[in-house]
Structure 1
């Protein structure tokens, strides 16, 4: 550090551009407590950054990586600055490519992406000069489920020789969620990079207790829990009077089996309404994921409504107006393991807003374990329990307020802003000593 009163200079190596109007806010929110002049970000998307959280950026866009495979003499990567520009031809093409990949859900797509990045010309004098000119005190390394990110991260950490602190927000190491030979091969490839990064870091951040237990036993770390922080300075619990009919809301992705879980919720609500002979509850699903015809018939039927995509501001509005927000993970097969060690930022949004949560998933996955440890949600592990919990809410609507308050108190205990910021800053500063 140049001055003992200054925070360390941090180089972050991530995937997404940091934009206030974007969808990927996790890392940006973590660094809101930092001095923006002492943060640099190397990232791998076509989007342009736009936030006061960070001032220095180096962009390696995937579109240029693809072109460089066909034209090996081409060098990619450039210094960019904050700009309100949201879209251009390259950004649109990249978004379309990712939308198509998510919709097809092909096991070939991650594999082909790794091959493209393997032969892409990203290791350039421009990248090297940017890193050395910034001269960080410490490298912040989020661990992603992409081997190419591990390769970039290892290159930069070796180039600087500076200590690293890792951030592990999912199970990006075990084989538990692999369903095909290609996925096993890809995970083997990923582990080749994740293992050395994790074992050689000075410290490790994780996002939930169950993940801490798994990570520390696997890598020999003493990890610290770091989640999205919430400012409760002028925030108190607001008691909730249930609507009639009760309004259940889901906002988010419907990939990796969540669509099937939501279909079970829709079936349960329609069954309960049928039993009572009137509409006691309604389900509203807001998602950019296009459901299959079979799923659509179930989630857009009777008192269940599939409403498509809405903006970030609209998401907050519909959540606040709801009685019950749904946290859903898969209940079947390998998909049920996808969230084994994850912790969605939606959870902190739900509980900090004092919402009654209906959490659905296997009891061994980290989000459900978190809700159970903190008694902060109504929980269902199966189709029968989904029906039972929804019926419980219908028969006793005041439980919505009871669990809303439990959720809010849990958020205050575990995610208060000053506590989280102090933990983050102390860990980062200690890592360079």
Structure 2
């Protein structure tokens, strides 16, 4: 089976240790090629063939006339190519990645919408690989939807898509006209493309239900997976109890962590009963350091690799999943199902989830009784006080999380489902629920 993966980011497991693409496909009996839309070298154990397009290539295609796209040299093959992956000037790339204004985001999308692909090279790349399946892993955007449309016209292979975010609904808060122009542009493009998806995978039951109602398309759940090759083993709870957060500060998550840090100060009033360790690649501001890095109740540890994080979790007691309750950010993440949730389930720790009750990850953990789920400050305080004074409760929820992983996130089951789904699509048979 030959699978052509379309992705917005570089398939690089060293840079992105949380990469769900490798998580799903590593070890699968299949051959992979990848068309991706960012600078940088790919690095993974699954794929050997790559076609790269970047922001600067697209901009040059408009202003200079040089068409965008290049076949990458592979260390595994002697075939001729256009050379190594393009490393865009770091200042330019970091600027484009850091764009936060809705106007500039819209400009970037329009560059991808009107830029000129090197269609001849792209067609040759696709014809040489001759895919059986095209798998598009993305949040819908003008950039990725246009790429899907172009690629689907170049091959008879069936198109399958995956999303993990709210890319369509109007349940958003923004006072920027440019946000809404982009939103309606993507909605229009997605409506035209969705009929071409033989399967549309999503992370959450809530988005599956919503899209089936909106589009009448074949939706299935596809979440991050892991290997569960041993029975659950209860760990001795540390004194003080160790709480771990691993992730970014954006969308006001740092403020939520600040609530937890403040509660721990109350719990630790007489003696240190619990500590919070924060592992993030983000550079904290002075305000964030003051709130989260007192070195006693909470400490910012910085960035660690995925392998290092596994060791850290193995020596911890409670893994945290948090999202902001601010309506602006809460609506953005409502249908998101962070892969960090699955990392928490895999961790062997008890899981504490703190966010609004309509957040898909929170609902999943609540349904499966896989975490202590709270949605307001008083519930959070009560839960932390109970957990920090009851080691048996921590061990019980750690086991619940692990059992949820076995039930819903076992890699053997996920890969078996993917291969069966893909084969049924190739054979033009109905995909089973």
CA distance in 2, matches of 1:259, 1:108: 26
Q: 1:207 to 1:356 in 2, by over 3 A?
A: same
Q: 2:209 aligns with which of 200, 210, 213?
A: 213
The TM-score, its normalising length taken from structure 2, stands at 0.90
1:123 Cα deviation after fit: 4.5
Asked if 1:384 is matched to 2:378, the reply is: yes
Which runs of 5 or more structure 2 residues have no equivalent in the other structure?
77-82, 429-433
Q: For 1:102-139, what per-residue CA distance to the aligned partner results, in whole angstroms no more than 9, with x for missing partners?
A: xxx33334222112223322243211221233222222
Residues 1:253 and 2:248 aligned together: yes
Is the Cα–Cα contact under 8 Å of residues 50 and 83 in structure 1 kept in the other structure?
no
Change (3 A) 1:218 1:91: farther
How many Å apart are 1:376 and its aligned residue? 0.4
Please tell me whether the aligned partners of residues 113 and 142 of structure 2 are also in contact (alpha carbons under 8 angstroms): no
Question: In the alignment, which residue of structure 1 is the partner of 2:287?
Answer: 294
Change (3 A) 1:200 1:226: same
- Contact 1:266-1:299 within 8 A present in 2 as well: yes
1:174-213 alignment, distance < 5 Å:
174-181=169-176, 182-213=178-209
2:94 counterpart of 1:96: yes
Match of 2:135 in 1: 140
Match of 2:414 among 417, 420, 428: 420
Alignment of 1:383-402 (within 5 A): 383-402=377-396
1:121 lines up with 2:119 in the alignment: no
Distance of 2:310 and 2:422 partners within structure 1: 32
Matching residue within 156, 169, 193 for 2:164? 169
C-alpha spacing 1:203/1:145, structure 2 compared with 1 (3 Å): closer
SS of equivalent to 2:5:
strand
SS across alignment from 1:237: coil
Does the aligned pair in 1 maintain the 2:335–2:360 contact within 8 Å? yes
Matches for 1:24-35 after TM superposition, within 5 Å = 25-35=19-29
Q: Kindly indicate whether the alpha-carbon contact (under 8 Å) linking 1:269 and 1:303 is maintained by their aligned counterparts in 2.
A: yes
Which residue matches 1:334?
A: 328
- Is 1:362 equivalent to 2:356 in the alignment? yes
Is the CA contact (8 Å cut-off) linking 1:55 and 1:81 kept in structure 2? no
Distance 1:292 1:111 in 2: 28
1: distance between equivalents of 2:74 and 2:395? 42
SS of the residue corresponding to residue 398 of structure 1 reads helix
Contact 2:28-2:415 at 8 Å conserved across structures: no
Q: 2:315, 2:62 → 1: CA distance?
A: 50
1:381-406, Cα deviation, whole Å (9 max, x unpaired): 01222211111112213211110000
The answer to whether the 8 A contact 1:375-1:406 is kept is: yes
Q: Deviations over 1:398-427 (max 9, x none)?
A: 211110000000100011122111111111
Q: How many residues align?
A: 418
Report the equivalent of 2:66.
74
Instruction: Look up the SS of the partner of 2:68 in the other structure.
Output: coil
What whole-Å deviation, never above 9, does each CA across 1:338-382 have from its counterpart, x for those lacking one?
A: 221222222222212321111111111110000110000011101
C-alpha RMSD over aligned residues = 2.3
* Structure 1, unpaired ranges of 5+: 1-6
Q: What secondary structure, in the 3-state scheme, does the structure 1 residue paired with 2:38 have? A: coil
TM-score (norm 1): 0.90
Distance (whole Å) between structure 2 residues aligned to residue 148 and residue 369 of structure 1: 31
> How far did 1:245 drift?
1.1
Q: Note the 1:49-64 alignment, pairs <5 A.
A: 49-64=42-57
